[in-house]
Amino acid sequence: MITFQHIDSPVGQLLLASADDGLRVIEFEAPWHPVKRGADWHEGDNGVLLETRKQLGEYFAGTRQQFDLPLAPHGTPFQLQVWRTLMQIGWGETWSYAQMARHIGQPTATRAVGAANGRNPLPIVLPCHRVIGSDGSLTGFGGGLPTKEFLLTLEGVLPRRVPIDDLFAPA
């Protein structure tokens, strides 16, 4: 059985889902690859979802840099290898898709690494937002490029942009 719930976050509403083996899904409002929900899905709460909400709140507040959750993503052996590698990219760091491919010992698999990142069922926790183009560009992200930019700004990778109105606001 899979328990799910929707939560609000600074990047919009997120769908969280877990099963007995751990957290299965974090999904953005308009996902590229929506998760298929079956008859075994029911809305509710459990300890994994409670802890996920807590840790995501700490992350968005800037007080948590690593997650400590039971994870249970489902994918192919290659996808699982790529997703495990994502956990090695630290807060405030970025890797290119080519770096990831070299790291897993498959230097010609850059596109396959990109495809696996695109299917990451646990974005933010498995930080695929930290993977960028070889030229430093922000490339595809299931939550949209504005969300990727927000997350990288939160982590200090990108400079904060101050709206011009804020510069002239009374103190």
Task: Tell me the average confidence (pLDDT) per consecutive run of 10 residues in the chain, 171 residues long.
Answer: 96 95 92 75 96 98 96 96 96 94 95 94 96 88 89 89 54 54
| pTM, full prediction | 0.88
Our answer to whether residue 128 is catalytic in this structure is yes
Token pair 């960028």 is at which residue? 132
Listed by start position, the domains of the chain span 2-61, 77-155
* CATH fold of 77-155: Arc Repressor Mutant, subunit A (1.10.10)
Catalytic choice (128, 131, 151, 154):
128
Question: Measured between alpha carbons, how far is 115 from 111 in angstroms, rounded to an integer?
Answer: 6
Name residue 99's beta-bridge partners: none
Task: Work out the number of other CB atoms within 10 angstroms of the CB of residue 4.
Answer: 20
| Topology given in CATH for the domain delimited by 2-61 | Double Stranded RNA Binding Domain (3.30.160)
- Element spanning 116, H or E: helix 110-118
Residues 6+ away with beta carbon under 8 Å from 13: 6, 7, 29
